């Protein structure tokens, strides 16, 4: 018997216990609800590349669901002064962001001519309306109340978004951790209106500078700072890749939902979620 045949026999013997009867038990497809998931790509145009367009955006939304799951867990961990789980959760967010960036690379294989074949069929539907992306912005501290109007069509969703809008973000949790660790964070920062966009403050900047100048003493807080920077760094790369993909496919056309398209996407690249952590890099 040759090695190939012997290998086949060994493989067959090792797989003899594989389950094949699932009449009364759950399958892989049942567990993942694949009947729903894989039939949720109903396009409106019949164009070949619309499937690509739908799948990329659906996959992105699934990744964003996981980002929100991890960010909320990280906030709870930081609030509980349990930083090690928070580090794992925040590191996972950064890895997920890299996957979304790779998704834009796949979408970029679609040419302008191909997209124009079905773009008008999308009506006013636009990624600008992604409510999970808004929740991610809220969780990172970027609060813009006017965007809530987009979701007034769905009262239940609006309620969920409003709750996220009014909840403390990741940086709020980090700053309060600084205060609990003995740093002199001004009261106006600790009691600020968390439904407004965070503005940098000297007391927070000085706390982070102290941490970066004495890493050995403040090792956990230093790790926290770097995990925050990782998340923002990857988010900016995500935004940049999104912007360049849109520019590559539609140029400077207006977005389907009425946004300014690439102009808007370029503008948000200048937003900072954790400004002091970037400012101090020039100072330390």
240 annotated as ligand-binding: no
Instruction: Find out whether 90 and 232 touch, Cβ atoms under 8 Å.
Output: no
Q: How far is CA 253 from CA 6, 68, 262, 269, in A?
A: 62, 31, 8, 19
Question: Any binding-site annotation on 119?
Answer: yes
pLDDT-derived band at 3, boundaries 50, 70, 90? low
Find, among 219, 229, 216, 185, the residue nearest to 203 by Cα.
185
59 is in an annotated binding site: no
What are the tens digits of pLDDT across the range 188-232?
999 999 999 999 999 999 999 999 999 999 999 999 999 999 999
| Domains of the chain and any CATH numbers | 51-280 (1.20.58.480)
How far apart CA 3 and CA 6 sit, in angstroms, is 5
101 is in an annotated binding site: no
Contact, 154 vs 59, CB < 8 A?
no
Residue 55, marked binder: yes
State yes or no: 53 annotated in a binding site: yes
- The whole-model pTM stands at 0.88
213 is in an annotated binding site: no
Per-residue pLDDT band for 21 (boundaries 50, 70, 90) equals confident
pLDDT tens digits along 121-174: 988 888 778 999 999 999 999 998 899 999 999 999 999 999 999 999 999 999
Q: Does 14 score more than 70 pLDDT? A: no
Asked if residue 109 belongs to a known ligand binding site, the reply is: no
């Amino acid at each position: 018997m040759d090695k190939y045949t012997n290998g086949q026999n060994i493989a067959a013997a090792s797989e003899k216990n594989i389950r094949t009867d699932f009449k009364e038990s759950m399958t892989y497809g049942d567990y993942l609800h694949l009947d729903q998931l894989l039939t949720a790509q109903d396009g409106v145009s019949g164009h070949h590349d619309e499937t690509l367009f739908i799948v990329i955006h659906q996959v992105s939304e699934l990744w964003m669901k996981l980002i929100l799951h991890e960010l909320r867990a990280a906030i709870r961990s930081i609030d509980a002064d349990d930083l090690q789980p928070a580090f794992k959760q925040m590191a996972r967010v950064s890895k997920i962001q890299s996957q979304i960036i790779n998704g834009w690379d796949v979408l970029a294989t679609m040419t302008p001519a191909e997209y124009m074949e079905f773009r008008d069929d999308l009506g006013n539907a636009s990624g600008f309306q992604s409510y999970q992306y808004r929740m991610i912005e809220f969780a990172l501290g970027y609060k813009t109340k006017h965007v809530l109007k987009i979701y007034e069509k769905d009262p239940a969703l609006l309620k969920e978004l409003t709750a996220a809008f009014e909840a403390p973000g990741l940086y709020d949790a980090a700053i309060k951790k600084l205060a609990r660790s003995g740093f002199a964070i001004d009261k106006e920062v600790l009691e600020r209106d968390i439904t407004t966009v965070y503005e940098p403050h000297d007391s927070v900047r000085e706390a982070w500078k102290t941490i970066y100048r004495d890493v050995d003493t403040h090792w956990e807080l230093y790790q926290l700072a770097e995990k925050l920077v990782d998340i923002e760094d990857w988010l900016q790369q995500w935004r940049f890749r999104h912007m360049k993909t849109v520019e590559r496919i539609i140029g400077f056309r207006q977005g389907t939902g009425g946004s300014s398209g690439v102009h808007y996407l370029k503008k948000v690249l200048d937003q900072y979620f954790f400004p002091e952590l970037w400012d101090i890099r020039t100072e330390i």
